[in-house]
Structure 1
Amino acid sequence: MAAACTRALCKVGCRILESPAARRPGSVSYLLGNVGGGASRRAYGTSGGPGLSSMGRGGSRVLGCAVLLGAGLGLYQTVKFRLQQHLAEECTQACGGAGGLKLQLTLYQYKTCPFCSKVRAFLDYHGLPYEVVEVNPVMRKELKWSTYRKVPILMVDHNVQLNDSSVIISSLKSYLINQKKDKRISEVLLCYPEMKSVDDRGKEVTEFSNKYWLMLSEDDTAAVYPEKGSQKEEMKWRKWADEWLVHLISPNVYRTTDEALAAFDYIVREGKFGTFEGFFAKYVGASAMYLISKRLKRRYNLQDDVRQDLYKAVDEWVAAIGKNRKFMGGSQPNLADLAVFGVLRVMEGLQAFDEMMANTKIKHWYRRVERATLNHDGRNCFVV
């Protein structure tokens, strides 16, 4: 469309310059149709004024040149846009972006689940398109096909199932980096075997080996982690996000009955609930989670004011990044940045989040990661 407009402007400009009006005094209003007569005099002035109808030879040439200049600028912008678009497509394909991968990804999730939010942060940052299936947290009928009943679950090409948020992120990242070696995602997944055990409360739990490791060659590892100790640092803080930070969310979100009701109002609004289920979830769920948050507070030895544990944790995270880095990953977020961001993001819109942003040093880092995920800054970071 822009190219067509440019061609039209070129024709008009040439027509003005070649017209008799450009070579002798007189009106050029006839070039612009019937509007040019009385209408243009009413709009731009009467005879003797600076109106289009009184424009002489010099004015016609100026008008023609102006139209041609506008057409030239339009052509330049069109060519520039097309070139940028072409380069972006080539870069995406060459670097293993969404266009080059051609993976079909389906994420089964609860929107307010911090582990699901971690996976979305990873996918969004890397510009990987995915479909979302919001699971009903009461009936969970959307997972009736799966023996693994927790979220998140990521299905790849409808036939490879990835479980556990950290396994999803590690295996998918490993696959993206190794894609030139023709490794399939199912082959990478073998490096994260599932293990079942019984915890101290007698409950069977499922764990996964190596879930914080990327399965890379020595050369690829050196390219992904050029700074000494950066790989161990990333793994340490990813584990910290799963084993400590995530357990601070519920006690803070459901700290009081009012906060619990506000949180469940958001959960019901964003989740997949029917009318009756929504009412039940909001009031019964809020009451239950308020009581559970107190139990979690005792289990993890949190202070009476659980906000202080949250503030201490996020300030500890900011201190670990230091003043000389934008992110823990340096100039770009690494997997630890995305994990911490994903966990904290589920509190947005709630009192706990607002108070955390106001009373800690997390704000600037958080907004930087937020922009990086919204802009898909990691879409071209797959090949090393």
Structure 2
Amino acid sequence: MAAACARTFCNVSRLVYKTLPCRPDNGVVFSTRIYLQTQGNTYGTMGKRFRPKHLQFRPNLRRGGQALGCAFLIGGGFGLYHTINFTFQRHLAKESKVPDLNLTLYQYKTCPFCSKVRVFLDYHGLPYEIVEVNPVMRQEINWSTYRKVPILMVNGTTQLNDSSVIISTLMTYLISKEKTIPQIVACYPEMKAKSDSGKEVTEYGNKYWVMVDDAESGMLYPAKDSRKEEIKWRKWADDWLVHLISPNVYRTPMESLASFDYIVSEGKFGTFEGFFAKYFGAAAMWIISKRLKNRHNLQDDVRQDLYKAVNKWVAAIGKKQFMGGDNPNLADLAVFGVLRVMEGLQAFNDMMENTKVKKWYRSMEDAVHQN
């Protein structure tokens, strides 16, 4: 389609540019009838020809034909660029090797990290199966030494851990024409370390990098510093934004109870587990949220930290529709995935009413759900 658009713009430009300019002494307004013939499919027509259009030239525009031709060339160039860029980013999932992917996501529905992965998969049109994990027993992932979610199994053989590693791996796979999933996973080495409390933690190297060559990078990140900005905000979503969710959804006893009512209704709980989780879990998380507030140095009114973070994100986007420009990039998808888990709760409603995020958020909903 991009090629057809390019041919059409060139034909219009050439025909208009060759049109004789109006002379000052010609008092008659004339029109030039233009027919465009294209090869193969013709877009937006009833047959092989576009419907005739009349381009009128006023007698006081001496070189109007040449100017209009140049305008078509410039406009065609911009249009072709955005068409190619849009096609490249939004239809990667239709590449020939993508149907070979058999994806199974092990998740908690209300987990922000799991939500990030689902948003990425939905946006790129990748089909996947979901296995909802019981958060108490976690029997569904007994086969794994890695005991957190999300876990993504690819073709039943390759296990991907950590939401950001999953997203970077799949994005690399969609773009690269040569690398396999196991080859790409090797680019994100697992590293063991100890936290300040002495607990062993697992981290992954390079997890915010999409492993593409220079040519592919130029297509994926056409704007200056766009790759750097994407990495910066993906990391911000993991290191800061996600830690604002629990203190806000469990801010008061009533909010905590409402949150656990949603968690139980959407999660995989037995009857007794659901009752226990709803009431005892809500009380426990309300207490824990106070500790989280102190751990992350949040204000007494944790809503203000949420508002500040969200407005900071919107300010960074500026006048663009998305952080990625005309289309969401991985940072857009990550932030949207984190915020989306609050939908239906008081914290989400307050955020939409008291910040400037609504326009971007609704645009993200449309972008993700179009596939």
TM-score by structure 2 length?
A: 0.75
> Are 1:348 and 2:343 counterparts?
yes
Task: Detail structure 1 runs of 4+ shifted over 6 Å in the superposition.
Answer: none
Paired residues for 1:98-247 under 5 Å:
100-102=97-99, 103-178=101-176, 180-181=177-178, 183-247=179-243
Alpha carbons 1:109, 1:153 under 8 Å: kept: yes
User: Which residue, out of 351, 355, 358, partners 1:360?
Assistant: 355
> 1:98 touches 1:128 (CA, 8 Å); kept in 2?
no
| C-alpha contact (below 8 Å) 2:92/2:124 kept by paired residues | no
Q: Name the SS of the counterpart of 1:221 in structure 2.
A: helix
Judge conservation of contact 1:263–1:350 (CA < 8 Å) in 2: yes
- 1:269 is displaced (CA, Å) by 0.1
SS at match of 1:302: coil
Q: Secondary structure at the match of 1:239?
A: helix
CA distance, structure 1, for counterparts of residue 148 and residue 256 of structure 2: 23
Q: Does 1:97 align with 2:94?
A: yes
Residue 343 of structure 1 aligns with an amino acid whose one-letter code is V
Indicate the SS of the match to 1:331.
Answer: coil
Distance 1:357 1:240 in 2: 20
Alpha-carbon distance between aligned partners in 2 of 1:272 and 1:217, rounded to the nearest angstrom: 42
In 2, the alpha carbon distance for the partners of 1:219 and 1:368 equals 29
Residue 317 (str. 1) matches residue 332 (str. 2): no
Instruction: Give the Cα–Cα distance (whole angstroms) in 2 for the partners of residues 218 and 322 of structure 1.
Output: 27
8 A contact 1:109–1:132 mirrored in 2: yes
Q: Partner residue of 1:267?
A: 263
Structure whose residues are more often helix by fraction: 1
Residues in 1 aligned to 2:138 and 2:370: alpha-carbon distance in whole angstroms: 32
Which of 356, 360, 371 is equivalent to 2:366?
371
Partner Cα distance (2:161, 2:303) in 1? 31
2:92, 2:174 within 8 Å by CA — same for their partners in 1? no
CA contact (8 A) 2:195 2:201 kept: yes
Query: Measured at CA, do residues 228 and 296 of structure 1 come closer, stay the same or move farther in structure 2, by a change above 3 Å?
Result: same
Q: Contact 2:116–2:334 (CA<8 Å) still a contact in 1?
A: yes
Kindly indicate whether the alpha-carbon contact (under 8 Å) linking 2:93 and 2:124 is maintained by their aligned counterparts in 1.
no
User: Is residue 108–residue 132 contact of structure 1 (8 Å, CA) maintained in 2?
Assistant: yes
Q: Which of 326, 331, 348 is the aligned partner of 1:331?
A: 326
1:295 alignment partner, one of 288, 291, 295: 291
Q: 1:272-320: per-residue Cα shift (whole Å, max 9, x none)?
A: 0000000000011101110110000001110010000000000000000
- TM-score, with normalisation over the residues of structure 1? 0.72
CA–CA distance in 2 between the matches of 1:363 and 1:204? 39
8 Å Cα contact 2:95/2:174 also seen in 1 = no
1:225-277 deviations in Å (ceiling 9; x for gaps): 11110000000000000000000000000000000000000000000000000
Q: The residue matched to 1:161 in structure 2 has which SS?
A: strand
CA distance in 2, matches of 1:362, 1:349: 16
Q: CA deviation at 1:196?
A: 0.5
Change in 2 beyond 3 A, CA 1:184/1:357 = same
Please say if residues 102 and 128 of structure 2, whose CA atoms lie closer than 8 Å, have aligned partners that are also in contact. yes
The 1-side partners of 2:318 and 2:260 are apart by 36
- Give the letter aligned to residue 108 of structure 1: Y
Q: Distance in 2 between matches of 1:98 and 1:339?
A: 23
- For these two proteins, the number of residue pairs brought into alignment is 283
- Counterpart of 2:37 in structure 1 is none
Counterparts of 1:262 and 1:338 in 2: how far apart (Å)? Answer: 26
Amino acid in structure 2 at the alignment position of 1:247: H
**Unaligned stretches of 5+ residues in structure 1:** 1-75, 77-90, 377-384
Counterpart CA distance in 1 for 2:282 and 2:268 is 16
Question: Following TM superposition, by how much is the alpha carbon of 1:100 offset from its aligned partner in structure 2, in angstroms?
Answer: 4.8
Instruction: Confirm or deny that 1:283 pairs with 2:279.
Output: yes
Structure 1 counterpart of 2:102, one-letter code:
Q
